[in-house]
Every structure is written in structure tokens, then in C-alpha cells.
Amino acid sequence: MILEIRIAASSDAEAACNVLRRSIRECCELDHKNDPAILDAWLGNKTPQMVANWFSSPTNFSLVAVSEGTVVGVALLTGAGKLALCYLLPEARGQGAGTALLKRMEEQACDWGVKALQLHSTATGQQFFAQRGYTDAGKVRSPYGVETVFFWKQLDEEATCPNAPKRKRFCNCNTA
């Protein structure tokens, strides 16, 4: 898969909305169990207009993953350091798009000076985030009725944020 990760534009909203809705319906059955009430609540704000609003908000950083001219993934980071969206089309899973989106979101968080990234993962996404160094901090029920896992990851480490300012030390001791 030839993949382009780029900043999302309002013109991407309809395609990104399709990614969100298909991913939730088709990939997250373990979470929603095809319960119409949960699906209605979860999908309720996943409209092209709402997605366009999220993309245009100055406090959000939004990306799309594009393969062969098709939006196959979408991710959104809030200024508070919360990864609010990270979804892929079902057929794009396991091909590197999710990893590429997450890596770019971590870079953006570092650029903003965010010390730790946080997110609420579905059971479907739990292994993905755990394999990428995120710490499971327990279960939290979402507003739409799905039990999620609260994850966080320290970002101000050299491996994650190589250009982050170094912490000041309180002594001149040698820690080699």
C-alpha cells in the first residue's frame, strides 16, 4: 500500500466520516455487539458537517491517511493531548496506516510540548495501542455505552520526542 499521511482538510470530511462510520460498524462489533442503541449513540455525531467542524477547529490537529486517492484512515489530536480519533477502513487494517497516523500524532504532540498522550480505546484497538508503548490505566465507560480502556504514553523521552527540550536537572551530578 502506497500511503500518504497529510493534514485533513474540510473537503476530506465526507470521506473521513465514511472511514469513521465503517470502522465503527465493521471493525468494532466486539465493542457495540450490534446493539442498535449503542450504534446510534456512537455514530450520532459522525456526520460530514461535524467532521468538517472538528477538522477546522484551531485547537485540533487532524490527519488523513490516503492510499491510491482514497481516504483510508483518520486521526484527530486535541490541544490537550488527547487522541480523540484514530480509525481505519476495515480493508486498510494491518497495512501500516494506523501506525503511521499514530506516529505523526505523537510527533505533533511533542511539537506542542505535550508530555503525555492520552486516549480511550475500544477493545478492538486495545492491542494496537498496547503494542505501541501505551500504558493501560483501566476501564472507563464511554458516553455511548461502550467500555473503553484509558491509555496514556509518556512523550518527553528521547525515543519519542527527539527534538523535545531536555529537562533541567537540579544538580550537576553525573548520571552516566
Spatial CA neighbour of 24 closest among 12, 41, 6, 11: 41
* Band of residue 34 on the pLDDT scale cut at 50, 70, 90: very high
Mean confidence (pLDDT) of the chain: 91
* Band of residue 158 on the pLDDT scale cut at 50, 70, 90: low
Average pLDDT of the residues in 16-26: 97
**Residue in this structure with the C-alpha cell 533541567, named with its chain if needed:** 168
Return all residues near 27 (Cβ < 8 A) that are at least 6 apart: 88, 90, 93, 124
Average pLDDT of the residues in 137-157: 91
151/39 Cα distance (integer angstroms): 23
pTM strictly above 0.85:
yes
Per the CB < 8 A criterion, the answer to whether 133 and 118 are in contact is no
The grid coordinates listed for 96 are 501500516
91-134 pLDDT tens trace: 999 999 999 999 999 999 999 999 999 999 999 999 999 999 99
Percent share of the chain, pLDDT over 90: 84
Question: HSE on the CB side for 42, CA within 13 Å?
Answer: 25
* Band of residue 169 on the pLDDT scale cut at 50, 70, 90: very low
44-55 pLDDT tens trace: 999 999 999 999
149/80 Cα distance (integer angstroms): 18
The grid coordinates listed for 88 are 481505519
| 3-class SS of residue 59 | coil
